[in-house]
Amino acid sequence: MSCSRAILSFSQLSFSPSITPYLSVPQNLMSLNTEQGMDEAQERKHRLNMHRMKNALFQVLCEIKEKSALSQRNPPEDDPPDPQQLRLDRMLESEGVIGNDADAQLEGQLAATGDNTAEHGDYRAKLNQIRGIYHAELEKYNNACQEFTQHVQNLLREQSRTRPISQREIQRTITIISRRFNQIQLQLKQSTCEAVMILRSRFLDAR
């Protein structure tokens, strides 16, 4: 039986008046409605936080969590660098899309292909378009990732006032979210590399 179902079943039993105050906190937890208005939700949360038995319930939840071995015992290991991400980064840097020396990389490539100013100008213009699109989309990605992870972090910190959530567990959740977002970044880099390769085949490799 899950903890939430157990608390619900526990709160539905009949007890003597001296036990009743202990049951009101689980009842408040189980009665929270995600579809209720913001004002009503804030009012219920305030009543729950101010309840005199809240600390006792929190301690019980900590003990249940400890006995169930749900706590994160070992610190999360650092994720090793993704080989595919590193490969794409090197490719984008060598093609003059990213990096501090992107312009120098581009000029070096153009110089190696011969002296065709017109074609070089077209290639440079189209590569700058690809570069601009890449950096604009990367900025959107970074903003969305930061906004979402910050929201989750604030939510977990808020919930940690009612149920035991350690900072280590919060960080582990943020790490998992970052891994998911990395897949989006990977797709962006792959698409950009493909666009550069197509552009290169039309202007440089054909020579």
Give pLDDT tens digits for 132-174: 999 999 999 999 999 999 999 998 888 887 778 888 888 989 9
The reply to whether 97 and 160 lie within a common domain is: yes
The reply to whether 61 and 25 lie within a common domain is: yes
The reply to whether 110 and 48 lie within a common domain is: no
How would residue 201 be classed by pLDDT, with cut points 50, 70 and 90?
A: confident
Helix (H) or strand (E) holding 86: helix 83-94
The answer as to whether 73 is a domain residue is no
Q: Pick from 3, 78, 18: which is nearest to 53 by CA?
A: 18
Domains contained in the chain, number: 2
The answer as to whether 72 is a domain residue is no
Q: What is the pTM of this model?
A: 0.62
Q: What value does the mean pLDDT of the chain take?
A: 73
Q: Would the pLDDT of 111 be above 60? A: no
What distances in angstroms separate CA 27 from CA 8, 9, 11, 23, 161, one per listed residue? 7, 10, 6, 6, 17
pLDDT of residue 13: 39
pLDDT of residue 123: 82
The per-residue pLDDT for range 34-60, each reduced to its tens digit, is: 555 677 767 777 777 777 777 777 777
Give the domain range for residue 90.
83-203
- Indicate the range of 24-28, 181-185, 199-203 predicted with least confidence: 24-28
